[in-house]
Structure 1
Amino acid sequence: MQNSLVERRQKYGWSQQRLADELGVSRQTIISIERGRFDPSLPLAFRLAEVFECRIEELFDPHGDIA
């Protein structure tokens, strides 16, 4: 699943570790999500959307249409 997590995180000026700390997950989890190796659980996806003040659909796209 394609995502715009890297762009959102960089827009906030956050490191992967800062985002991981904010969410209570490991840095490796953030790396795996950003690289598309791991799809987050629905609760984690909602938390990501909350942190970045956007909708889940703005972060994740199962069809690969996020540019």
Structure 2
Amino acid sequence: MSEELILKNRLKVARAEKNISQGELARMVGVSRQTISSIETGHFNPTAKLALIFCIALDKKFEDLFYFD
């Protein structure tokens, strides 16, 4: 693959669907609110473990939350 893959996410949309704030999601998954913000804005990519914890917390499949652009 010659082109760079950029991991994107739909965490903000998934949070809104469940009416959960960044702080609430952070407490649910055991990270800081700043980490949630950094992931949502694409400044930080979660580990595979954290990504799967998001899936469990938000009741979403991995491909519903994360994708390549």
- State the TM-score, normalized to the length of structure 2: 0.86
SS of the residue corresponding to residue 54 of structure 1 reads coil
Aligned match for 1:52, one of 52, 58, 66: 58
Larger radius of gyration: 2
* Structure 1 segments (4+ residues) deviating >4 Å: none
1:3 aligns with 2:9: yes
Of 49-58 and 34-43, deviating more is 49-58
**Percent of aligned positions with the same letter in both sequences?**
40
Instruction: Give unpaired runs (5+ residues) of structure 1.
Output: none
Instruction: Give unpaired runs (5+ residues) of structure 2.
Output: 1-6
Of 52-61 and 28-37, deviating more is 52-61
Aligned match for 2:48, one of 33, 42, 59: 42
Q: Distance in 2 between matches of 1:19 and 1:5?
A: 10
1:24 aligns with 2:30: yes
Q: Distance in 1 between matches of 2:28 and 2:67?
A: 23
Q: Distance in 1 between matches of 2:51 and 2:67?
A: 12
SS of the residue corresponding to residue 2 of structure 1 reads strand
- State the TM-score, normalized to the length of structure 1: 0.89
Provide the residue aligned with 2:4 in structure 1. none
Quote the offset at 1:35 in angstroms: 0.2
SS of the residue corresponding to residue 39 of structure 1 reads coil
